[in-house]
Structures are given as structure tokens and as C-alpha cells.
Chain A
Amino acid sequence: DAGITQSPRHKVTETGTPVTLRCHQTENHRYMYWYRQDPGHGLRLIHYSYGVKDTDKGEVSDGYSVSRSKTEDFLLTLESATSSQTSVYFCAISEGAPSNQPQHFGDGTRLSIL
């Protein structure tokens, strides 16, 4: 199994509070991704990174920011959490670009915003 650790695994917080989710990899892969999964929507890409300090927006980036200061860590921040951001968040990594390289996913973080 790919060495991907997401933390925390579960979190409950209140609307308006900041939240940071962490993805840590031990594979030294260049590419890292954050997805969210909601019933009826499948997985949707939030942000991705193609190297240290190189990030870009995905399909549903509003309300989220990311940072990648070193290869192994990719942080997802909700500056002011809203109830619509209640979801399961998955981190993924890939050695090369996803067009012809597989992505490997973490076990997810279940985030509830009350």
C-alpha cells in the first residue's frame, strides 16, 4: 500500500472556525491532490500540487487553500468552515501526471461542520 497518512481521520467543528487537514506521504511522489466526496457528486478535485510550492485549483476550490512546503506534506485549509464543507476528504498522490500514472489514495478524513 502507498504510504499516505491523512490526519485527523475524523473532525467535528463549528461554522466559522478554521480547519487544517494534513496529508503526509512517504513515497517521494511529485504530485499530490485533495478531493472531496459527497453523496450524489462522486469525487471532486479541490486543489492539486505538482511540486513543492507549486499548486493549482481544481474543480471546487472556493473556500479552500493549500500549501506544500515540502515534498511529503500537503495541507488543506478551510479558512472559515461552512456547513456546505461537511464532507469526506481524500488525499491522493501520483508519481507522474495523472493522464498515464495511477493515483493512490489515503483513507480519508470525515469532516463535520455544525
Chain B
Amino acid sequence: DAKTTQPNSMESNEEEPVHLPCNHSTISGTDYIHWYRQLPSQGPEYVIHGLTSNVNNRMASLAIAEDRKSSTLILHRATLRDAAVYYCIPNTGGFKTIFGAGTRLFVKA
């Protein structure tokens, strides 16, 4: 299984961009990189996923390094509602989705 390293916590100011890093140096060539977030007292919420090229959706952008050993989730303008735990998950296929400790994002007004 690909192992991930994420900072325990990060802090951002409201309406500023946030870059959440993730290292997954043991990822295989066919593993998609998924990002989820979990707001307090809620279930995890899908954010974005990608394989090789950068991806954008209404919630965020995902920048994947050319060697695929790291990726960055980009929130373009953080809001208070974005305060959550963010999980980076290289999915190794099968059904073993491993949620690690993630990064707790604090957003200051």
C-alpha cells in the first residue's frame, strides 16, 4: 500500500488560497490520488481525484507532481466552511481505502 505523509495541521486566513501538500512516494503507476475532507460531526466528503494530470472541479484543484510522488490540494479562496480534516488517499485498487490522520485545516476570519 502506498504510504502518505501530510502535515498534522495548517492554518489559513479566510478568502486566501490554501495549498495542502501530500507526499506519496511509494505510489504505483496506476493508483489514483483521492482527496476527501471531513467537517466536524459529519461523514467524509469527496473533494477531488486524479491520476497524472492536474484536475479542477467546483470545490478545488489538484496538482500532481510529474513523478507522482506528491500532490497538492488547492482551495482557491478558503472560507470558514472549509475548516475540516483533509485526507490524501492514493487508492491502491481493490477495496482498501486507507484514511490516515489527514491534515486539520484551521481557517481564521
**Which residues of chain B have a CB within 8 Å of any CB of chain A?**
30-32, 34, 36, 42-46, 49, 51, 91-102
Is A107 at the interface (CB under 8 A from chain B)?
yes
Judging by beta carbons under 8 Å apart, are B46 and A103 in contact? yes
What are 23 A-B residue pairs whose CB atoms fall within 8 Å in the complex? A33-B95, A42-B99, A42-B101, A42-B102, A45-B95, A48-B95, A58-B95, A90-B44, A92-B43, A97-B94, A98-B91, A98-B95, A99-B31, A99-B91, A100-B32, A100-B49, A100-B51, A100-B91, A102-B46, A103-B36, A103-B46, A105-B43, A106-B43
Which chain B residues border A50 with CB–CB below 8 Å? 95
Q: How many cross-chain pairs have Cβ atoms below 8 Å apart between A and B?
A: 55
Q: A98-B91, A108-B42, A108-B43 are in contact. Are A103 and B97 (CB under 8 A)?
A: yes
* Chain B contact residues, majority secondary structure: loop
Interchain nearest-CB distance for A30 vs B (Å): 12
Using CB atoms, name the residue of chain A closest to B30.
Answer: A99
Interface size class of A (residues with CB under 8 A): 20 to 34
Judging by beta carbons under 8 Å apart, are A99 and B94 in contact? yes
Is A62 at the interface (CB under 8 A from chain B)?
no
Give CA–CA (A103, B38) in the complex, Å.
Answer: 13
Which chain B residues border A90 with CB–CB below 8 Å? 43-44
Judging by beta carbons under 8 Å apart, are A102 and B43 in contact? no
**Which residues of chain A have a CB within 8 Å of any CB of chain B?**
33, 42-45, 48, 50, 56, 58-59, 90, 92, 97-100, 102-108
Give CA–CA (A108, B102) in the complex, Å.
Answer: 19
Which chain A residues border B32 with CB–CB below 8 Å? 99-100
Give CA–CA (A99, B33) in the complex, Å.
Answer: 9
Which chain A residues border B102 with CB–CB below 8 Å? 42
Which chain A residues border B92 with CB–CB below 8 Å? 99
Give CA–CA (A111, B63) in the complex, Å.
Answer: 38
